[in-house]
Amino acid sequence: MSAVDATPPVRVRPRRRGGWTALRLLLSSPPAAFAAVVLLGVVALALLGERIAPTGANEVSVEDRLLPPGPGHWFGTDDLGRDVLSRVVLGARVSLQVGAVAVGFSLVCGVLVGLFAGFHDGWLDTVLMRLMDVLFAFPAMLLAIAVIAVLGPGTTNAMIAIGVTYTPVFARVTRSAVLGVRESVYVRASRSIGASDLRLLFRHVLPNAAPPIIVQTSVSLAFAVLAEAALSFVGLGTQPPAPSWGRMLSEGRGYVDLAWWIAVFPGLAIVLLVLSFNLLGDGLRDVLDPQQRSALQAGKRGPGRRRGKSWTSWRCGTCGSRWRPRAGPRGSSTGWTTPWPRGRPSRWWGSRARARASR
């Protein structure tokens, strides 16, 4: 026996390209690509805001108060002479920070509650979901105001309030996904070989229940940004002198007729950020849903595909050319044609071919 024969075979795992395929499908959608570019820009502003902003957020210049947008101040100035562009740029950090921390808190708590409630039947499911129903019964804004009334106004307490508000949403989404996964074949096979409940939950159930949770995370980020702006607008969120888009809207509402730019530019920033999160959530839903993803992949393929359905083709026994049905209105077939310039068959030939296919 030679040394070559004694060498054990090497197992080579195939490369998984599912993540890159999903990313390409996501970026192939113009709305999702636009949302991704906008979000990257907002994140860059949040990280590099102090270096990009022309002036400080609270640099007051009384002689420059209520200046309209122009070369010196591209977004104008407010009633105290502060540059609106600088405050909008620096306010992006507050909105993203509150949204990310609040959604992260609600994601962790809601996913844990949904996992254990959906995986275990009986009293645990009943107790956990009835508790979530109690929280879900209150309007989101009213519950956030109630939590802040107990804890006090501030950015940190606003994060906690928004996180508590959106925990029941993640719990319900996770539980519904777990209920469809827990009786799968691979879960029962792992249980039969002695896998513990924690291993089943975090190794098999959670990864397969992740797509709806990811989509809900993107949508909840949009609502968290709106909630932070609303709380700051009524004076319960970010406190002055820290810049906040909602606080800037509250300060500019008294100058709408005199200086419209004080409230318009922070409002446009909120609209753009929320719209980007919603568009990204729609793109993620289409990519992570198996049926929608199959339709997208079929629609992105080359010749021989149309509207996600494959053409029925025929090969001529005499010349060897391939023929496919000619598309008519609403996807119907009005005859037969060839993708190569080898002539066009007659209607009689097409009817005979269709009759032959139906036998």
CA torsion, points 154, 157, 161, 162, in degrees to nearest 10?
70
**Long-range residue pairs from 144-152, CB within 8 A, at least 24 positions apart, any chain:** 144/227, 144/231, 145/231, 145/234, 145/236, 148/231, 148/236
* 245 and 316 in a common domain: no
Token output for 29: 């959608």
| Four-residue CA torsion sign, 296, 301, 307, 312 | negative
Convert the pLDDT of each residue in 272-283 to its tens digit: 999 999 999 988
> What was the pLDDT predicted at 341?
44
Q: How many folded domains does the chain comprise?
A: 2
> What was the pLDDT predicted at 293?
67
> What was the pLDDT predicted at 344?
45
Q: Which residues of the chain have pLDDT under 50?
A: 1, 4, 12, 302-312, 328-350, 353
What is the Cα–Cα distance from 23 to 41, expressed in whole angstroms?
18
> What was the pLDDT predicted at 294?
64
Token output for 13: 């795992």
What is the Cα–Cα distance from 45 to 133, expressed in whole angstroms?
38
* 292 and 310 in a common domain: no
> What was the pLDDT predicted at 190?
87
* 194 and 281 in a common domain: yes
Point out the domain boundary residue: 270, 298, 326: 298
Q: Is 264 helix (H, G, I), strand (E, B) or coil?
A: helix
> What was the pLDDT predicted at 311?
44
In contact, 168 and 195? CB cutoff 8 Å: no
* 348 and 231 in a common domain: no
**Is residue 13 a part of any domain in this protein?**
no
> What was the pLDDT predicted at 359?
52
What range does the domain containing 82 cover? 19-298
Sequence-separated (6 or more) residues with CB below 8 Å from residue 178? 114, 115, 117, 118, 119, 205, 209
**Is residue 30 a part of any domain in this protein?**
yes
> What was the pLDDT predicted at 122?
82
Convert the pLDDT of each residue in 63-77 to its tens digit: 889 899 988 889 999
* CATH of residue 281: 1.10.3720.10
**Is residue 50 a part of any domain in this protein?**
yes
* 324 and 275 in a common domain: no
Give me the amino acid identity at 107. Answer: L
Sequence-separated (6 or more) residues with CB below 8 Å from residue 237? 98, 153, 154, 155, 158, 228, 229, 230, 231, 244, 246, 247
**Is residue 8 a part of any domain in this protein?**
no
Convert the pLDDT of each residue in 297-312 to its tens digit: 666 554 444 444 444 4
What is the Cα–Cα distance from 359 to 355, expressed in whole angstroms?
7
**Is residue 293 a part of any domain in this protein?**
yes
